[in-house]
Amino acid sequence: MKKVLAIDSRVSNEILENIKKINNNIVLIQKNPLFDEAVSAHPDMNILQVKDRIFTYAGTNVRLRNTSKIKSTKRGKLQYPEDVSLNAVCISNDFICRKKSVDQVILEHAANIGMNIIDINQGYVKCNIAVVDEENKAVITEDEGIHKTLTENGYKVLLLKTHDVLLEPYKYGFIGGATGLYENTLLFTGNVKKHAEYERMKAFCDFFGVEIKSLSKDYLYDYGSILTIFTE
């Protein structure tokens, strides 16, 4: 299987060049008019892989094998919770989502292939979850509800106490949207050392033997995650 990295087409040149050094197979997600401008090219809003199937919106620029196009029935820009149809996370055999918001075709597919459905109250699931170690089910989040639910399901969860990620024009972004796990390295879209809780995150990653890598010198910015897509 080939590994492809899906990233926001608007990332800085420094981030893009550093990603290319890691993996040059890249899909640059273009702006989707269904979403607000700030998040319109965010991978975690536009694409979701569930085992061997890839889901994205009709009209997006994603051209990969085994891709199913989801067509929005809404006109104009999607508002919460309609805008989180693809905002979910697959970790091991768990499908983590907000059941009443995720696209029902995707939810049924996950159930039909035997995945364990974990229902989260927060709709922006992937935005709020930085996956550190899939095998040991280790994640980082700022969301207390996610922390509670995943802990109850056997996850090791580092709950951050501060929101220290940028996402203009919003008050803040999320740690999940500023990261991406690639093999054994947690990539950060910015300089993780400038985050208020860098030492806690480093210690958590060190515990699971996961390296951390800053992709630029800037403050962490929420670009909607760096998603690793597995394709033929």
Is pLDDT above 90 for 72?
A: no
CA–CA distance, 57 with 82 (Å, rounded to integer): 13
| Residue among 125, 124, 114, 68 nearest 92 (CA) | 114
- Say what the pTM is: 0.95
Query: Percent of the chain having pLDDT more than 90?
Result: 87
Q: What is the mean pLDDT of residues 103-121?
A: 96
pLDDT band for position 143 (cuts 50, 70, 90)? very high
CA–CA distance, 201 with 210 (Å, rounded to integer): 11
- Which has more pLDDT, 217 or 77? 217
CA–CA distance, 156 with 158 (Å, rounded to integer): 7
- Please tell me whether residue 22 adopts helix, strand or coil conformation: helix
Q: What is the mean pLDDT of residues 212-231?
A: 97
Chain segment 175-216, per-residue pLDDT in tens: 999 999 999 999 999 999 999 999 999 999 999 999 999 999
Mean pLDDT of the chain: 94
Is pLDDT above 80 for 59?
A: no
Contact, 104 vs 119, CB < 8 A?
no
Q: How far is CA 222 from CA 135, 153, 156, in A?
A: 25, 27, 23
| Residue among 42, 36, 230 nearest 125 (CA) | 42
pLDDT of residue 60: 79
